[in-house]
Structure 1
Amino acid sequence: MPTLATAITTPDPAALEEWLDATPDRGERERQLRDLAAPDRARLVAGMQPELADRLLAVIEPRTAATLLTSASPAAAAGLLAALDSDIAADILREFPATTAASLIGALPPARALVLNGLLSWPPDSAAAHMVPEALVISQGQDVESALTQLRLQTAAAPVDSLAAAYVYVVDDDRRLLGVVSLQQLVLAAPGTQVAELTETDIITVDANTDDEVAARTLTDNRLAALPVIDKEDRLLGVITADVAADIVEDENTEDAERQGGSEPLEVPYLQASPVRLWRKRVVWLLVLFIAEAYTGTVLRYFEDELDAVVSLAFFIPLLVGTGGNTGTQITTTLVRAASTGEVRLRDLGKVLPKELSAAMMISATMAAVGLLRAWTLGVGWPVMVTVSISLAAIVLWSAFVASILPLILTKTKIDPAVVSAPMIATIVDGTGLLIYFMIAKSIIPELSH
């Protein structure tokens, strides 16, 4: 089986292509490329033909691709970037310092440099930053023969992504988007047919400044191969393709999963993250949770006399706060995902809250029965047994109420609902759950009634 080491040391450029054929898994390619020493990276890039750049650089992380290109001369790196689709080349250039990126763009042909500078001018999390500018366009006043001739000239001047070529956009003289027609319709239409007769004017678009995740969800929800990106004057700027949208959604899902675990997104592949980056991304949330958790100790200190009077109450504190935190985590995990996909919004609170509280009532009854049994096995007496049972039910219901509301409120206020992480919900419920527990205990246990 061809290896990357063989591809690097073999003078024949075909060796690299053989390695690519033998290593179709993207993750495995990524791992082998990241493990290369600097001299080997330089030899790899020096021996890479531009036609292979699309197979190698376009399917790995932009940061890894940038690391490889750093080992090449500016002219060689620019030649490889020129072989990539504009959106992919722009993603890689964002990983370079601004001066280095400008130097690489300066080594490209003027037309290509203009396109890439245009992409890099948009905010990285905007729809326009991820679009393919080379969309197929025709005029509404043409017939199908002249339209096809125009398309041939466009693709000869600048190759078009296969997904972007799924649709042909009808524009006016100022490039304002008027409608869309499929390439298949143009090819199969009878000679003499006017483009206007085939044009579909009810078209889904996104503004250039739309958040990239929103744009990606719009594309996937409508099952499109490409989604047109327009400016405020309805001029067509480019299209977001389905494969780009899939990458955006995957990245956003990864970030949400990291936030749900109580950490800021790493923004780089895990194996490329240094210990300092891991510390920086995790320590802030841990400090916030530490401060929030501190009030749990305040609650325990406040009820110190109650604990001294009925020591057995302390036996059940981990059980109660753990159950409350687990209940809230289950709900937030479900709702954060539903909110991020647009399935639920704040206006759906009237449906979400009854549903979750109904389920929580059944769960609380089950947990109360189990808690009563557990307290009985410890022989703590009926007053404590009843206290534990009722407290479990109340804490489960309270946790369900809090966890059902917070993600939807945050979504409405444009805050990522994933920040309601599992640790944060558990921390909130810990302190409030203890308050519920001791208040119920004071009302039930005779020794605490006064």
Structure 2
Amino acid sequence: MNASASTADLTINEIREAWPVLSAEERFEAFSLLDRESAQEFFMPLLARAKASLISQMTETDRTLWMRLLPLDDAADVIQVSHPKKRETLLSLLDDQSRQEVRALLLYKEDVAGGLMNPRFARVRPHLTVDEAIRYLRLQISDKQENIYYVYVLDESQKLLGVVSFRDIFKAPPHKLISDIMQDDVITVTENQDQEVVSRIFSQHKFLALPVVDRDRKMRGIITADDIMHVMQQEVTEDIHKLGGMEALKRPYMQIGFWHMLRKRAGWLVVLFFGEMLTASAMAYFEEEIARAVVLALFVPLIISSGGNSGSQATTLIIRAMALGEVKLRDWLRIAGREMGIGLGLGCILSVIGFFRIVAWQMFFHLYGEHYLLVALAVSLSLAGVVMWGTLAGSMLPLILRRLGFDPASASAPFVATLVDVSGIMIYFSASALILRGTLL
């Protein structure tokens, strides 16, 4: 796309649509053509990296304007993703109070609640009347406190006592005390809680905002639903990439360079390649059986792919259930029993199909020799065993990774398939050796 020729006629919606395929320079040129109101509407929902890219191309005056326009948590995110040499320059664009607050936010990891929160929020004391609280809030609320949904009730040491919605404040009689209308049973998150846990709490309770507290229950800030939407999108994207057997990408696909993309994808492929070497070793171990009964080799892809597919299904289901908080580590035994039963049922279904497939092909094409019924039995029993094992392994692997402190999404479908390939070969040829002994073997 030639930005100089085409961006002049773009609307804000058309810029959004073209945004993923534009270069950094084209993006800035398109953004520069928007009027102030449209530019603000377009700029505020952007991800931190996109904001940082635009700000880096602005004049110093414009950089100051846009940095000071951002809520403090967004400003911290922009500084966090910028080049380390540019961070102090960006910090210097903020006013003294904002700079101090953003520095405090930058001390947190970017994937914990403290790194997501805005340290400015509406607060009142419990002894104020409703009328006094309303007057106080008018003076207190600033431009940096966008999306204010709740008023938090704090004591003199900044400990969280309760919460009250604006609706409840305006509905209450003017002489009523805040302590009489507040809710003291407040769901909170701690400042070092993982962002995935925070997003799960938002999903479960449908909150518009959550208070962030420290270990002493002193309130540090709030996380809004708008903040967590970006996190949920990022978490889902990372999980999908990992399930596909690659490292998570931090930027849009079209903006990632060739060598960076190659490095991100090569790592897991090399690991999986070495894993598949074990499959070749397993095949070599049964070389003598294959030489005696070549017909067995015909069904190797059928057996191991069925096990890999069932394992990938189970892995995907358990990872999603863990992300939603539907299952915990303590549920492993129930999950194992449930998946073994389901795996056996799935294996029996495929076994019946496989058995009749071999019989039908023998009747019409005479492919499998005089002992075709024994071959069909060996394949059928192997299918049942491999599918059950694949389902069990696929369901347990994410739980094992979580127990060891790794991301369960690392139990990618290709990884599970590779694991089941090796064990599937062992199960198949071991079963065939028992059933076909004295005939083909």
Given the two structures, how large is their TM-score scaled by the length of structure 2? Answer: 0.92
Task: Look up the match of 2:128.
Answer: 142
Task: Look up the match of 1:31.
Answer: 20
1:110 equivalent to 2:120? Answer no
1:229 equivalent to 2:212? Answer yes
In 2 relative to 1, CA 41–441 (structure 1 residues): closer, same or farther, beyond 3 Å?
same
CA contact (8 A) 2:72 2:144 kept: no
Runs (5+) with no aligned partner, structure 1: 10-14
CA contact (8 A) 2:313 2:391 kept: no
In 2 relative to 1, CA 111–54 (structure 1 residues): closer, same or farther, beyond 3 Å?
farther
Matches within 5 A, 1:377-416: 377-378=361-362, 379-380=367-368, 381-416=372-407
CA contact (8 A) 1:85 1:132 kept: yes
Total equivalences in the alignment? 432
In 2 relative to 1, CA 31–193 (structure 1 residues): closer, same or farther, beyond 3 Å?
same
SS of equivalent to 1:94: helix
Task: Look up the match of 2:145.
Answer: 160
Return the offset for 1:448. 7.2
- Name which structure has the greater RCO, CA cutoff 8 Å, separation 6+: 2
Task: Look up the match of 2:428.
Answer: 437
In 2 relative to 1, CA 44–57 (structure 1 residues): closer, same or farther, beyond 3 Å?
closer
Matches within 5 A, 1:17-166: 19-20=11-12, 22-23=13-14, 26=16, 28=17, 30-31=19-20, 34-35=22-23, 37=25, 41=28, 44-45=31-32, 52-155=38-141, 157-162=142-147, 165-166=148-149
CA contact (8 A) 1:79 1:108 kept: no
CA contact (8 A) 2:20 2:252 kept: no
Which whole-Å deviations, capped at 9, do the CAs of 1:340-397 have from their partners, x for residues lacking one? 2111112222332232222222221111111112322153122222111111111111
Q: Identity rate of aligned residues, in percent?
A: 31
The AA in structure 2 aligned to 1:102 is E
Task: Look up the match of 2:302.
Answer: 319
Return the offset for 1:43. 8.4
Distance (Å, rounded) in 2 between the aligned partners of 1:251 and 1:132: 19
Distance (Å, rounded) in 1 between the aligned partners of 2:3 and 2:170: 44
Of the structure 1 ranges 248-257 and 113-122, higher mean CA displacement relative to structure 2 is found in: 113-122
CA contact (8 A) 2:344 2:385 kept: no
CA contact (8 A) 2:119 2:221 kept: yes
SS of equivalent to 1:446: coil
Return the offset for 1:138. 0.3
Which whole-Å deviations, capped at 9, do the CAs of 1:78-118 have from their partners, x for residues lacking one? 21111122222222222211221211210221122222222
In 2 relative to 1, CA 448–73 (structure 1 residues): closer, same or farther, beyond 3 Å?
farther
Of the structure 1 ranges 440-449 and 250-259, higher mean CA displacement relative to structure 2 is found in: 440-449
CA contact (8 A) 1:361 1:397 kept: yes
CA contact (8 A) 1:263 1:282 kept: yes
In 2 relative to 1, CA 160–7 (structure 1 residues): closer, same or farther, beyond 3 Å?
farther
In 2 relative to 1, CA 441–103 (structure 1 residues): closer, same or farther, beyond 3 Å?
same
SS of equivalent to 1:239: strand
Distance (Å, rounded) in 2 between the aligned partners of 1:80 and 1:50: 11
